[in-house]
Structure 1
Amino acid sequence: MSETPYPLGLRLAGLRVVVVGGGTVATRRVPALLDAGADVLLVAPELTPALRAHVDAGRLRWAARRFAPEDLDGAWLVQVAVDDPSAAASVSAAAAERRIFCVRADDRTAATAWTPAVTRHGPVTVAVLGGGDPRRAMSVRDAVRELLAARAGFEPVAEPDAPRRSAGGPAGRVALVGAGPGDPELITVKGWRLLTEADVVVADRLVPGLLLDELRADVELVDASKIPYGPARAQEEINRILVDRARAGAFVVRLKGGDPYVFGRGGEELLACAEAGVPVTVVPGVTSSIAAPAAAGIPVTHRAVAHEFTVVSGHLAPDSPASLVRWDALAGLRGTLVILMGLKNLAGITATLLAHGRRPDTPAAVVQEATTGSQRVLRSTLANVAADATTANLRPPAVVVIGNVVDALVV
């Protein structure tokens, strides 16, 4: 007699969920748990940079060691994301003893719960269980998502003349896809479709985690997280991965936060692929330079207020010899100034703008983690915004907006 799973929606807000393992599987599963409001405890000696970013942001707790049975005390659910069958079995045994449902990434038959293939469309969440076959579940899930998108007026569009694998040999390709500013629904329809077709996904830290949760089980996920001022995989290594996987016949999606070409180094990746003879498709994304202010109620242009806006990178201090930004010239502009990656150097940036004539009472704002459930908005003035951001304990990713548009829609 076949065993039929009983479908159930778990309300995990405020409830402890233990995740054992800190690799790519955990990287894919944790965002959905956080989105559900779970109190996540991550148990693993080491973490991927993407998971470490969640820890640094205070979204979850990390026990930097191997699993111990008492880790499950008070837990409602445990997800095992390790490759070692013996270690996974020990977690299953501890969960069974405490009557806690256990999801096993290494062996679905040994699990007491399965994670379904999921698609989200506004307030609607569709979860598909394929009788233990992840490919079947993903196929049905994708069909449902396309149906929901079509009902909203978005028909899937076929990629013209896209190289595919064939019996005659590999025909790999790369797509540079902008994932948008943070909300997973702000990826373009084309970007999402290519993501569902990918064999390999090379993802940055700033991509929406829920998009990774929707990948097929057999997709190779490469974590190329670039945590600001922390550990990062060299760009040359990322280029090599894109080229090598494509030459082996895979369809590789390079998933990047925002837009691939707005301080995303997408141009370097395209050149590396072009030099290697690898076909590349570029899918623009919604850039945070416009989306973050918009999500905070700030238009970057507004009639009779600002007829121009300038986007600059603030990852280098204004007095750095390597900086290409003319802060003295920017101080004289009358329009909106949008600064990406500038939170660490905000005190130096504002001091430089003030020294070159920008008014101290110029409205300024900082938007942290725009378009996500963790979005925070701080409004201040050019003279005070750096100190206010420090007092408020704002953290990256954050977008700084300077100009009269900050107050244009305040009522």
Structure 2
Amino acid sequence: MTGFVSFVGAGPGDPELLTLKAVDRLGRADAVLFDDLSSGPILGHARDGATLVGVGKRAGRPSPKQAEVSRVLVEHAQAGQHVVRLKSGDSGIYGRLEEELDALKSAGIKYEIIPGVPSAIAAAAAAGIPLTRKHAARRVQFITGHDVVGALPEDLNLAALSDPNAVTVVFMGKGTFPQLAELLMANGLPDDTPALLAEDVSGPDQKITQGTVGELARQLAASTGQKPALILYGALAES
């Protein structure tokens, strides 16, 4: 009998931010395929005896190729198991969900998608600010700071990203933010536009650094550190 896959958004890392449905699926799964950022205490909700398989990807570190992750996912489901594919944040936001859905569809395996707390939402909450503002920031835009080879994407809409009246969230962008900031400022974004760096959001080493786009670009040009992080800039409220 073919199994079933539950894609579970683990949120930013704090197990208390898991949804009730996420906890239920973890408690019933035969196998859990988890990313690095969705591991730790969250895996404590997996049932005793469940097979735990790390398939995480981290920039600059050895990690399985996406094709291999998809193969392992299909393999466990074809063995008749209920599989939880545990992804950090929300599975549909820069989580390579589409590739894994395609693999399941090709194999005729059924699935469900359980949303999680997006890390961008958690970052704003950790900073004590709203992500939108009634009269100042009516638009929020999410972008990735690197493409498939780790470079800054070449097809960015710089006009939209240089809008100081929007709030822009940059995922996976610590290494490329100095380059991005240079392009943004060349397209009219003021150097003193508010910005913040949210590292290890909701984790034990959480750190929120607030400043300006120019200051943050200079800081990251000197050192990016090893912590997972998000960058927010634009019409941010003061904490």
* TM surpasses 0.5: yes
The answer to whether structure 1 residue 296 and structure 2 residue 130 are counterparts is no
Alpha-carbon offset, residue 328 of structure 1: 4.2
Q: What TM-score comes out, normalization by structure 2 length?
A: 0.92
- How many angstroms apart in 2 are the aligned matches of 1:303 and 1:271? 39
1:210 aligns with 2:41: yes
Give the aligned partner of residue 346 of structure 1: 177
2:53 aligned counterpart, secondary structure = strand
- Does residue 174 (structure 1) correspond to residue 5 (structure 2)? The answer is yes
Aligned pairs for 1:183-262 (under 5 A) are 183-262=14-93
In structure 2, the partner of 1:384 is 215
Listed as ranges, the matches of 1:308-319 within 5 Å are 308-316=139-147
Q: Give 2:99's aligned residue.
A: 268
Aligned to 2:188: 357
User: How far off is 1:350 after superposition?
Assistant: 0.8
CA contact (8 A) 2:132 2:138 kept: yes
Partner Cα separation in structure 2 for residue 280 and residue 378 of structure 1: 39
Larger RCO, structure (CA 8 Å, separation 6 or more): 2
TM-score normalised by L of structure 1: 0.55
1:211 is displaced (CA, Å) by: 1.5
Residue 112 (structure 2) pairs with residue 281 (structure 1): yes
Q: Deviations over 1:227-255 (max 9, x none)?
A: 11221111111111111111111011000
In structure 2, C-alpha distance between the alignment counterparts of 1:315 and 1:322, rounded to whole Å? 6
Determine if contact 1:316/1:345 at 8 Å carries over to the other structure. no
Please list the CA deviations of residues 199-238 of structure 1 after superposition, one character each: whole Å capped at 9, or x if unmatched.
0100001104101134233211111010112211111111
Distance 2:202 2:165 in 1: 27
For the residue of structure 1 that corresponds to 2:196, the secondary structure is strand
Q: Percent of aligned positions with the same letter in both sequences? A: 36
**Alignment partner of 2:92: what SS?**
coil
CA contact (8 A) 1:366 1:389 kept: no
How many equivalent residue pairs? 238
Corresponding residue SS for 1:384: helix
Question: In the TM superposition, what is the alpha-carbon distance from 1:404 to its structure 2 partner?
Answer: 2.5
Gap runs ≥5 in structure 2: none
Q: CA RMSD in A?
A: 2.1
